[in-house]
Structures are given as structure tokens and as C-alpha cells.
Chain A
Amino acid sequence: MSKTITIDGTNIPFEDGQTIMEAATAAGVYIPHLCHHPEYIPHGSCKLCTVKVNGRICSACTFPAMEGQDVLNNTKELTDDRRKITQMLFVEGNHFCPSCEKTGNCQLQAVAYHLNMLDDHFPLFYPNREVDASHADVMIDHNRCIFCTLCVRASQQKDGKNVFAISGRGINRHLIINSESGLLKDTDLDATDQAAHICPTGAILIKRTGYQVPIGERIYDHQEIDQVSLETEHLQHGE
């Protein structure tokens, strides 16, 4: 008989070594997340996957599943907290969905819809961040970076390169480029690299491809992020 945890009162099987996120996804239970990706070592930084395990707050993407865990996921309290976290992600950067080419394909936007985020709530920071379009095929709009480190991990763990890093702490945290000039053009990043395609927001973009996918054919035009996430990540977790 397999080992189980309970999530919102339902028994969920798990195998040793799985995180709560992995067990939940494999069982078809969606836990909102942005910095988690099944192909990469968990980072636990966005805090969107916050769950309560036996009354204690944990990140589902980093916390191992263990016998006897009673996990709360889809509760009003946690949804309210996740919405606040998402609102903070929005106000810390400059996220202008109406003109952003990632609209309809953006995980940050989709998770905001999923959590019924209707406004920013917090005062906007309006940070003054750079756009680095120096690379021939890839550009970075730092205004939209949420510091999920997926590009950092993809570059290191998948592409065998080391193009990105996070520098600074707290409110001064920012994404940096690993080149002497600090510009993307002086790195070995290629448009086919996983790191160039992994960004959950519109921060890292393939140049000259914006708006080519018509409205109605974008990822989240007909499905919410929970459905998309479970369909695409279920298999990856099972591997």
C-alpha cells in the first residue's frame, strides 16, 4: 500500500523523495506557483505555493511529502495570502498587460486571474528599470522580472551555461547578466536556449515575434492556469 498525505481532506499518494507539489500535481491537485518548474531544482522564492502542513506554513515546491501530513491548500485564507503576494509582484515591477506581448501567454497574469485579483491594492512602485535589447535575437525587459530565477536555473541546469544571476537582497534584488559589460549581447545566450523561453512573465522575450499568435489561440485564452499547469506538468512530474 502506497504512502499518503491528505490535501484539503483528500488522500493523495506519494513516493519517497517527492515534494508536496510533486505529489499534488501527479494526483491532479493544482497548487498555484510561479518559480516552480518540474524540470528544475525547486527554489521556493515566489511563495505562491504556500500551504499549511499540520498548521505550519510551508512552500509546497520545496517541502518533502511525508506520512501523516495534513495539508491545507485551497482555503480562503491561503487564497487571500496568495492574491496579496501576486499583487506585490505586480506593484514591484511595471506590468502593463494591455500592451505587453506576453498577454494571454503570461503565467503571472494567468495566476492573477485564477486568484481573482481585481486590482493592485498596494501602491505601485513604478521602478525605473532598463530594457536590454542589445542581443540580436533575445531581449530582457527588467521591468517585468519577478526574480523567480527560472532563467538562472535553466541556463545552468539545462543549457550548460551561466548567463543569468540574481544580485542584491530584499528590495534591491535584481537580475544581472553574466558578462563584463552586463549586456546580453556579450553572453553566449542563444535564442534556442531553454533560458530564453522559460520566463513566466514578459521579461525575457524572443525578439520580433510579439503578437504573432492571434487572440483566441494563446495559452490562457480558453483555459485557466490550473488546467494548463496540470496538463503540462503532470507528465513532467511523472518522469
Chain B
Amino acid sequence: MYEHLETADNRENLKRVVVDPVSRVEGHGKVTLLLDADNKVQQARLHIVEFRGFERFIQGRPYWELPVLVQRLCGICPVSHHLAAAKAIDQLVGVDPQNLPVSADKLRRLLHFGQLFQSHALHFFHLSSPDLLFGFESDISKRSIIAVLGAYPDLGVQGVKMRKYGQEVIRMVSGKRVHGTGAIAGGMNKPLTKAERDYLLEDIDQMIEWSKASVALIKKVHCSNLPYYDDFGTIRSNYLGLIKPDGALEFYHGGLRAKNAQGETLMDHVDYCKYNDYIHEEVRSWTYMKFPYLLSMGPENGWYRVGPLARINNCDYINTPIAEAARVEFKAHGGEAMVHSTLAFHWARLIEILHCAESIKILLNDPDIMGHDLVAQGEKRYEGVGVIEAPRGTLFHHYQVDENDIVTKANLIVSTTSNNMGMNESVRQVAAEYLSGRELTEPLLNNLEVAIRAYDPCLSCATHALGKMPLQLELIDVEGKLIDKLVKNSDGQIGRNSHG
């Protein structure tokens, strides 16, 4: 591995190169490299530099606010936080997952599939496809969805429409595309109407076809660039995720499964309410994001990766036929028990998008989805843990409340946090293997971002600490003329541009 590049021995005379901000990811982060006189990389780090603080300011609020309040962590996958919090507060009203009304359970799954579908589509088409289609070191003018729309208009439009479809699923279930309501303690607040169901059914076959095509596309991109794609940013790691009782791929509810790099099971079907007995977090001085690890293996060796690659690696099969065929092909390509290629995250992600499309169709054709028995109630409890597989990986929400229903303690382990070590290792691998010793140019530095982007990190969700968002303030007079401009850079420096 490349841990020796986390901290350079002698930093005095090293040259510093900064990639700031890391672009086409959610949230704000930067990469720093320290180079010696021969441009050899001596240190490489991914820093997360934002402030969130949700765990603190939800204290003192009533528990039923949680699903709506914490989803504001993110505008890309708010549904993940909404549902993880809802699963936790189900327990506060005495409702375990198996006691949730069938219709509520299916509505939440539909909501979640819609969420995964749109988030994965956003990531692949809007954020990553420019790298994959034009090359990692292509001209900066090509590295955006606009360029994709110009060169591959059909593909670009398809990506935009796939994301839109996922957002429409969310809107039908929760009332809004972003930050709706829907899940409440013990169930859901409305059924899917027949009109809403029929509206979503109209386009689902097209979505399945486009999902199949996107899997074929990523396979072609990946396999036509071997062995580069198998090696770039690749690290051997442990993997963690939820799993169905029969070992099938699962996003909404299941036990925790972890496997090591050889594919040996480290733990299986673990009750996630006891996550604290298995997972701890380590803090390092140079980043605001924590480093989770499996307690049994310690912080050195216990770090793991989550997300699409982990889920497809960990599961025994997928319970929808087309996605399952894609999974079998994916695993066969790897040639060993686990696929470690970091760029294979993209391939795994699109297999999941296909599974989501197939699953949405099944749920829409299920009469339970329009059922009106939506809320269950039980005995009050004082602690709840909700865990789901968010688009970016396993997401933990843990709350304690007092006798007045007020939140007294909260702990969130967000998916991207679990990939912190993985992303840093991948950055170091790329820095060591692809950049070290070369004259650094802007396109070359994009390689670092490509490695980070493969994980689809959501840095705004994952951080817990104070940071410096870039900010631009413009003072415009009544005629629309710019009078003054104040710019706050990522390093916190404030500058002024005056236009008299």
C-alpha cells in the first residue's frame, strides 16, 4: 500500500501542489501533494474542509423532525438521510423493520430505488462521463456534461432524462424532487395514487433499456482500456455493506457483511443496531473527516470501502435477472473473488442502476404500493439506529431521546467517511504511480480527481468540522451595474474587485 506517502519525513524543502477544489464531486475538498526537487511525490493527502455540525444542532429538537431536518445534509441524496433517520425513529415509536406495514415498506423501497437511480445517473453522466469519454488528461474545456452533450448528444440527453426519472419517482412518493416529506415514525404519510403509479410506469421500460445500454457502455470503456483501468488508483481493501438474509444485494434493510481483500467473510448478517461493537472511528489532525475501521482488525488494517463496488463484491447474487447477468459478467472480469479496481466503481454503479430500474418496475406493478395501511405504532423507546445503503455506501444514523421526545445524542457515520482511507490510498497510488517524477500540468492533476471521483464522494455529508467554502459577493446597483465584488477563496483569503 501507499500509507508511507501520508506524511513526508522532511517537509521543509518540498514543493507544494494543491488541487483545490476537487471538482465534479459533491461538497468541497482539496488534494495536496508535496514534491521533492525531482518532482517525486513525498506526500499526498485528500483534505475535507467544510463545516456541517448536524450531530450537534439536532440535539434539543423533537425526534419526529429528524427525517426532514437531517436530509438537509445533502441536496444530491437527501432521501438516504431521510430514510436512515426514519428507520431510527421507527424504533423510537417501537416499530422494528419487520413490523412496518407492507405498503409503507414498499413505498420506502421505491423512494430509495428512485434516489439511487437519480444519484447514480447524476454521478455517471454529469460528473464522470467527461473523464471516461474524453480521457483523464483531456483539455479542461471538455471536462463537463456540456461537452458530452456536444459530442455525444444522445448519451448526454439520456443521462439527463434518467436523472429526471429518478427525481420524479422521489416526487411522486415524497411530494418534492428534493427535500420532500414522506417517511414518518412508523410508516409513510401517503400512498402512491393510481395516477402517480401509471405516470411512473410510462417510462420505466425506457429506463431499463437505457440502464442496460449504460452498463454495456462502461464495460466497453473499461475493457478497451485494460490494463490501465484495472490498475489506476487500485488498492486492495476490505469491503462492508448491508446484505439480504439470503445473501442477495440489498439497499434498504439487512444485516452487515464485511469481506476482506481475498473475499473471506469477516462478519455476516450482523445486527446493525450493534454497529458500535464492530466499527470505530479514528481522527487525524490534517483532515476534518474521520477514518472508520473494523474494531476486530484495528485502525491499521481494519479500514474498508463501501458503495457500489463493495456491494457488488459482497453480495452472492442480485434478485433481478438482467442486473444479475451483468454482475456475473463483472465478477468474471475480475478473475478473483473480489474486484479491487477503483475505476470498477463506475461499472458496479451502473449494474446497480440497472437493478434499481428493474426493481422500480416490479414495485410499481405491486398492488401493495397503493395500499392505505401505512403507519404502525408500538411502545416508546429511547434509542434508535437506522442503517441503509445510500448511493455512496453504508449510512449509519444513531439517536437517543429523553422522556420528552427530545434528541439528546446523535451519531452519523456517513458513507463517504467510510471511503476516506480508500480515497486517500487511491490518491497516493495515482500520485506515486502516475504523477511522481513528471512535470505537473493541470490535465495531469485531473488524474487525482478521477481517482477520487470514482468513489462518488459526498464531502458535504461526510465532514463534521469547520471549513472555508468559497464565496463570491456582488453588490449590484438598481440598474444592474456591478459596484463591488468580494471574493472569499478556498483558503479563507478575502479579496476585493471594485468597479467604481
Q: Is B179 an interface residue (CB 8 A)?
A: yes
- A99-B72, A133-B404 known; A214 and B182 CB under 8 Å? yes
Whether A214 lies near B64 (C-beta < 8 A) is: no
Which single member of B64, B67, B72 contacts A98 (CB below 8 Å)? Answer: B72
Q: Give Cα A217–Cα B175 distance, bound, in whole angstroms.
A: 10
Contacts between the two chains (Cβ within 8 Å), count:
54
Q: Which of B226-277 contact A (CB under 8 A)?
A: none
**A-binding segment of B96-104, B184-192, B333-341:** B184-192
Q: Which of B154-189 contact A (CB under 8 A)?
A: 174-176, 179-182, 184-185, 189
Whether B404 lies near A214 (C-beta < 8 A) is: no
**B-binding segment of A110-118, A171-179, A205-213:** A205-213
Q: Give Cα A98–Cα B175 distance, bound, in whole angstroms.
A: 14
Which single member of B72, B175, B406 contacts A216 (CB below 8 Å)? Answer: B175
Nearest chain B CB to A222's CB is how many angstroms away?
13
Whether A212 lies near B184 (C-beta < 8 A) is: yes
Q: Is A134 an interface residue (CB 8 A)?
A: yes
Closest B residue to A221 by beta carbon equals B175
Q: Give Cα A209–Cα B181 distance, bound, in whole angstroms.
A: 13
Q: In which size bucket is the chain B interface?
A: 20 to 34
Residues of A within 8 A of B176 (CB): 215
Q: In which size bucket is the chain A interface?
A: 10 to 19
- A213-B189, A215-B180, A216-B175 known; A99 and B64 CB under 8 Å? no
Q: Is A139 an interface residue (CB 8 A)?
A: yes
Residues of A within 8 A of B184 (CB): 210-212
Q: Is B295 an interface residue (CB 8 A)?
A: no
Which of B65, B176, B181, B405 has its CB near the most chain A CB atoms (within 10 A)? B181
- A98-B72, A99-B68, A133-B405 known; A215 and B181 CB under 8 Å? yes
Nearest chain A CB to B63's CB is how many angstroms away?
9
Which of A98, A131, A212 has its CB near the most chain B CB atoms (within 10 A)? A212
Which single member of B60, B67, B72 contacts A131 (CB below 8 Å)? Answer: B60
Which of B62, B182, B185 has its CB near the most chain A CB atoms (within 10 A)? B62
Nearest chain A CB to B34's CB is how many angstroms away?
41
Residues of B within 8 A of A101 (CB): 64-65, 68
SS of A interface (majority): loop
Closest A residue to B60 by beta carbon equals A131
For A81-101 the 0/1 string (1 means CB < 8 A from B) is 000000000000000001101
5 nearest A-B pairs in the assembled complex, by CB-CB distance: A215-B175, A214-B190, A133-B404, A99-B69, A210-B64
Instruction: Give chain A's interface residues, CB within 8 Å of chain B.
Output: 98-99, 101, 131, 133-134, 139, 207-217
Instruction: Give chain B's interface residues, CB within 8 Å of chain A.
Output: 60-62, 64-65, 67-69, 72, 93, 174-176, 179-182, 184-185, 189-190, 404-406
Provide a sorted-by-A list of 29 A–B residue pairs whose CB atoms are within 8 angstroms: A98-B179, A99-B68, A99-B69, A101-B64, A101-B65, A131-B61, A131-B62, A133-B405, A133-B406, A139-B62, A139-B404, A139-B405, A210-B65, A210-B68, A210-B184, A211-B64, A211-B181, A211-B184, A211-B189, A212-B184, A214-B181, A214-B182, A214-B189, A214-B190, A215-B175, A215-B176, A215-B180, A216-B175, A217-B190
With A101-B65, A211-B68, A214-B175 known, 19 other A-B pairs at CB within 8 A are: A99-B65, A99-B68, A131-B406, A133-B62, A133-B405, A207-B62, A208-B93, A208-B185, A208-B405, A209-B64, A210-B184, A211-B67, A212-B184, A212-B189, A214-B181, A214-B182, A214-B189, A214-B190, A216-B175
